[in-house]
């Protein structure tokens, strides 16, 4: 059962109950008939809206969780405790309510704009950013059932919308009429032209293996072996390009706080800044979620199937698939936090070098390798998986040797 | 493409202190730069002319907020040379301990700030965490963490506290381990290498022409250290190496300063071992009412380079007739516009930070 039919059943049950109550009270007439007709024609829209809100809420809750994990983990890596804010009874000393405190603070802050800024574009920047970030959530299934939509070209849609953010960053950087924001916006554009192409090309191998752009299909194809084993180079390219796409250290050039104050966000305050910040984390979630869907088997359980008889009857055969999915996403995100704690920021010419001279050839090499593999084993079956591993291990070795020869510098 | 002027300061996270670097950028490339200093000018040299030497001592601590005691010690050494007195040997060892602890603390602050300039924020917290140990030692020895006001004309204020030796040795062992750890997160870090190698290179001839001293000059490849050339205090009795770089770029500045930290750790250990018993002040010494009508020029190896004081006594009062302070970073800062040209905007904080500016000392 997918999310749409579940919500539709729920909404129909509630609305039907309401109408039944109205009729039971003896109220009949043109108004009730009109309301029934209205509901009949709006049913699809209402259910879609409920589904969308549900997916959005889950996404935002994940953002809250990720922000908290990032703060605590980066604090621990820097040998400090990070946020400790909590109220008695609710996570005292864990920083559980720090985010809500921050959100309230940003809500009540004055919304400032520079005098000479292009006000409309200045306001449009964060809006486009948040809208495009949230829109990707639509395409991401958390399990076979839990998805806002099951698009045939889900991956293409996600990539198209995901690549939209640098445009918003560029707009807001230019509109603020500040030299630092202008440079930040320009850097965002530079970063996009250098890392967007390898980012997309890294997915081609996966799509060739899965034979579909539908994310559910891609996950199903990884039933026996995750694509990280078959496509290690693709994952390396994807991961590096993804960090650049979501603008985190080491590729957070547009908001390099050391030289550009706060980059393109310099002039934003209050809610607009909160939006800019939040969309960064939504994009982080989306990037990690796509990584999990494409390379780590999505919601499939990493442990072999088992079942334990529960003392109160019934059987327990592992947590729900959505939970596996979210756990994998958070683990991947923790790697991002680790990278942030361990690395600095690259220079703008270095990222162009990296994108065009390193990641792009690697991605193309991976595509060639995948095609060669498919010539030997046209169908991805369990007996050909060994061959896939035999292909991927030397390729990984080759990449390691490139690393050792300093080709990535 | 249109070029524009960009302010890197004074209210900018990149500036290490209150100064201004205007850069003319073409896209991201720097075509021209100018410095503007003086935001922190307090007229310290003029104040010194109106104060007795004892009253001026605490102000020396304010000359640099990162390496306080090195300036006070330098001034005290100058006055001692003017008065032709020599402080007891134990006092000199204690001064060296303070100077070297100060050097470690100063280099840690520099390393943290340098890494945060390239976004490596973990390092700044590690460095400041370990600097706390030095500050704890200072607090134990002098009673203050930053503004120690510890050296006196004719010695130092007090002897080492009873358990200072053990605590200091323990801290030095810890610092040895930590230096290896910094090496792991900085020196073996691909990104750190990428961001520092070849950045802000100052060739040796230009470094000499500029008048660079200290780690900046040594990074460019000249082995020159006042502690070796013109030994003061007891440095001639201690065994240490002077690290030298090759290209004078950001990477060499890092390696030189990290190695200096290691040498300072070993110097503190040696001092604690070799230190004789005895007085820490010249017995019965009193500050004379009149400074002799002479001039002395005393230099010393500040963590940032060669610091020097030029003191003129007038033979009538115990106020210096003239005090001139040579600040090493003043010279380095004025050189930055020459060797920053051609770098990227992203390199600006790294090049600025490589000089380790301490604005209180530059503006005086």
CB-nearest partner of B119 from A187, A345, A350: A345
Which residues of chain B lie closer than 8 angstroms to A250, CB-CB?
Answer: 119, 191
Q: What sections of A25-118 are H helices per DSSP?
A: 30-77, 98-108
How far is A340 from chain B, CA to nearest CA, in Å?
8
Which residues of chain A lie closer than 8 angstroms to B129, CB-CB?
Answer: 79
CB-nearest partner of B122 from A77, A250, A258: A77
As a dihedral over the C-alpha atoms of residue A383, residue A386, residue A391, residue A396, rounded to 10 degrees, the angle is 150
At residue B265, the pLDDT reads 93
3-class SS of residue B174: helix
At residue B263, the pLDDT reads 92
CB-nearest partner of B345 from A183, A249, A252: A183
How far is A231 from chain B, CA to nearest CA, in Å?
25
Is B119 within 8 Å of A249 when comparing Cβ atoms?
Answer: yes
Tokens representing A404?
Answer: 């050792």
3-class SS of residue B14: coil
At residue A385, the pLDDT reads 65
**Among A104, A105, A84, CA closest to A96:** A84
At residue B314, the pLDDT reads 86
3-class SS of residue B50: coil
Read off the pTM.
0.86
**Among A347, A96, A231, A240, CA closest to B345:** A347
Query: Which band of pLDDT confidence, cut at 50, 70 and 90, is reported for residue A59?
Result: confident
Non-local (6+) Cβ contacts of B152 within 8 A are: B57, B76, B281
Q: Is the interface score ipTM higher than 0.95?
A: no
Which residues of chain A lie closer than 8 angstroms to B344, CB-CB?
Answer: 347-349
Which residues of chain A lie closer than 8 angstroms to B132, CB-CB?
Answer: none
At residue B261, the pLDDT reads 92
How far is B122 from chain A, CA to nearest CA, in Å?
5
pLDDT tens-place string over residues A365-394: 888 888 877 777 666 555 566 666 766 777
CB-nearest partner of B194 from A180, A259, A350: A350
Which residues of chain B lie closer than 8 angstroms to A186, CB-CB?
Answer: 27
Non-local (6+) Cβ contacts of A116 within 8 A are: A177
What's the average model confidence in pLDDT over A132-136? 88
| DSSP string for A149-201 | ---TTHHHHHHHHHTTHHHHHHHHHHHTT-HHHHHHHHHHHHHHHHHHHHHHH
Query: Which band of pLDDT confidence, cut at 50, 70 and 90, is reported for residue A359?
Result: confident
Is A348 within 8 Å of B185 when comparing Cβ atoms?
Answer: no
Tokens representing A210?
Answer: 């899965």
Average pLDDT of chain A is 83
In this prediction, the residues of chain B whose per-residue pLDDT falls under 50 are none
Mutation for A interface: B194, B196, B348, B350, most A CBs within 10 A? B194
Mutation for A interface: B4, B25, B29, B119, most A CBs within 10 A? B119
Number of A/B CB contacts below 8 angstroms equals 88
**Among B227, B247, B248, CA closest to B237:** B227
At residue A84, the pLDDT reads 79
**Position with higher pLDDT, A288 vs A299:** A288
Is B190 within 8 Å of A408 when comparing Cβ atoms?
Answer: yes
Tokens representing B332?
Answer: 């380095």
Is A79 within 8 Å of B126 when comparing Cβ atoms?
Answer: yes
Mutation for A interface: B13, B254, B346, most A CBs within 10 A? B346
Q: In CATH, which of 3.40.50.300, 3.20.20.70, 1.10.645.10, 1.20.1060.10 is domain B3-363?
A: 1.10.645.10
At residue A80, the pLDDT reads 86
Closest residue, chain B, to A339 (C-alpha): B120
At residue A258, the pLDDT reads 75
CA angle B219, B224, B227 (to 5 degrees): 120
pLDDT tens-place string over residues A183-235: 888 888 888 888 888 999 988 888 888 888 888 888 888 877 788 877 888 88
Is A342 within 8 Å of B115 when comparing Cβ atoms?
Answer: no
How far is B324 from chain A, CA to nearest CA, in Å?
34
Is A343 within 8 Å of B119 when comparing Cβ atoms?
Answer: yes
Task: Measure Cα distances from A38 to A8, A385, B361 in Å.
Answer: 16, 54, 78
Mutation for B interface: A178, A185, A347, A351, most B CBs within 10 A? A347
Which chain B residues have any C-beta within 8 angstroms of a chain A C-beta? 4, 6, 8, 12-14, 25, 27-28, 115-122, 125-126, 129, 185, 189-195, 344-349
At residue B1, the pLDDT reads 60
- Domains of chain A: which residue ranges? 3-66, 109-304+316-405
């Amino acid at each position: 059962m997918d999310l749409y039919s579940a919500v539709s059943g729920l909404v129909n049950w509630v609305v039907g109950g309401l109408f039944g109550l109205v009729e039971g009270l003896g109220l009949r007439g043109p108004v009730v008939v009109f309301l029934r007709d209205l509901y009949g024609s709006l049913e699809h829209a209402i259910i879609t809206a409920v589904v969308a809100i549900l997916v959005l809420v889950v996404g935002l809750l994940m953002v809250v969780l990720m922000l908290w994990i990032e703060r605590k983990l980066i604090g621990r890596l820097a040998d400090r405790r990070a946020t400790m804010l909590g109220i008695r009874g609710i996570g005292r000393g864990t920083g559980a309510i720090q985010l809500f405190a921050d959100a309230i603070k940003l809500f009540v802050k004055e919304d400032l704009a520079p005098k000479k800024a292009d006000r409309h574009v200045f306001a449009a920047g964060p809006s486009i950013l948040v809208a495009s970030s949230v829109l990707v959530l639509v395409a991401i299934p958390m399990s076979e059932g839990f998805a806002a939509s099951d698009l045939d070209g889900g991956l293409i849609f996600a990539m198209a919308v995901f690549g939209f953010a640098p445009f918003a960053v560029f707009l807001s950087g230019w509109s603020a009429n500040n030299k630092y924001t202008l440079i930040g916006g320009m850097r965002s554009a530079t970063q996009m032209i250098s890392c967007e192409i390898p980012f997309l090309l890294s997915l081609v191998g996966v799509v060739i293996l899965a034979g579909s752009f539908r994310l559910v299909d891609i996950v199903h194809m990884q039933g026996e072996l995750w694509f990280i084993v078959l496509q290690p180079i693709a994952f390396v390219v994807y991961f590096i390009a993804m960090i650049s796409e979501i603008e985190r250290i080491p590729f957070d050039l547009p908001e390099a706080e050391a030289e550009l104050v706060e980059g393109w966000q310099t002039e934003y305050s209050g809610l607009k800044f909160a939006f800019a910040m939040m969309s960064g984390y939504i994009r982080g979630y989306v990037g990690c979620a796509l990584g999990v869907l494409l390379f780590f088997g999505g919601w499939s359980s990493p442990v072999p199937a088992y079942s334990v008889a529960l003392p109160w009857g019934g059987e327990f055969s592992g947590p729900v698939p959505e939970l596996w999915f979210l756990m994998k996403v958070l683990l991947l995100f923790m790697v991002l936090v680790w990278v942030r704690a361990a690395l600095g920021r690259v220079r703008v010419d270095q990222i162009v070098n990296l994108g065009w001279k390193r990641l792009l050839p690697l991605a193309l090499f991976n595509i060639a390798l995948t095609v060669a593999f498919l010539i030997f084993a046209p169908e991805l079956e369990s007996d050909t998986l060994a061959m896939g591993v035999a292909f991927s291990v030397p390729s990984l070795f080759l990449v390691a040797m490139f690393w050792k020869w300093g080709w990535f510098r | 493409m249109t070029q524009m002027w960009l302010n890197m300061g004074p209210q900018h996270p990149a500036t290490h202190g209150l100064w201004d670097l205007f850069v003319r950028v073409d896209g991201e490339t720097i075509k021209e730069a100018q410095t503007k200093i003086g935001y922190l000018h307090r007229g310290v040299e003029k104040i010194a002319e109106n104060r007795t030497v004892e009253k001026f001592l605490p102000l020396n601590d304010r000359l640099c907020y990162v390496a306080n005691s090195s300036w006070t010690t330098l001034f005290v050494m100058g006055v001692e040379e003017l008065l032709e007195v020599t402080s007891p040997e134990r006092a000199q060892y204690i001064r060296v301990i303070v100077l070297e602890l100060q050097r470690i603390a100063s280099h840690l602050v520099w390393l943290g700030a340098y890494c945060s300039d390239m976004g490596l924020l973990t390092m700044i917290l590690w460095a400041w965490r370990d600097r706390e140990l030095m500050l704890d030692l200072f607090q134990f020895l002098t009673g203050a963490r930053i503004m120690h006001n510890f050296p006196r004309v004719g010695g130092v204020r007090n002897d080492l506290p009873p358990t200072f030796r053990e605590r200091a040795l323990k801290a030095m062992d810890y610092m040895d381990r930590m230096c290896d750890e910094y090496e792991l997160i900085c020196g073996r870090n691909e990104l750190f290498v990428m961001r520092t190698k070849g950045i802000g290179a100052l060739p040796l001839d230009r470094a000499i022409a500029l008048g660079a001293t200290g780690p900046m000059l040594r990074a460019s490849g000249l082995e020159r250290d006042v502690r070796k050339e013109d030994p003061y205090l007891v440095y001639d009795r201690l065994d240490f190496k002077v690290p030298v770089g090759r290209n004078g770029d950001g990477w060499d500045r890092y390696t030189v300063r990290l190695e200096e930290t290691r040498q300072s750790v070993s110097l503190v250990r040696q001092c604690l071992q070799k230190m004789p018993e005895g007085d820490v002040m010249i017995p019965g010494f009193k500050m004379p009412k009149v400074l002799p009508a002479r001039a002395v020029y005393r230099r010393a190896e500040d963590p940032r380079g060669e610091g020097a004081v030029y003191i003129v006594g007038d033979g009538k009062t115990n106020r210096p007739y003239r005090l001139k302070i040579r600040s090493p970073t003043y010279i380095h800062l004025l050189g930055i516009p020459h060797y920053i040209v051609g770098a990227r905007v992203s390199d600006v904080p790294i090049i600025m930070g490589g000089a380790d500016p301490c604005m209180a000392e530059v503006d005086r």
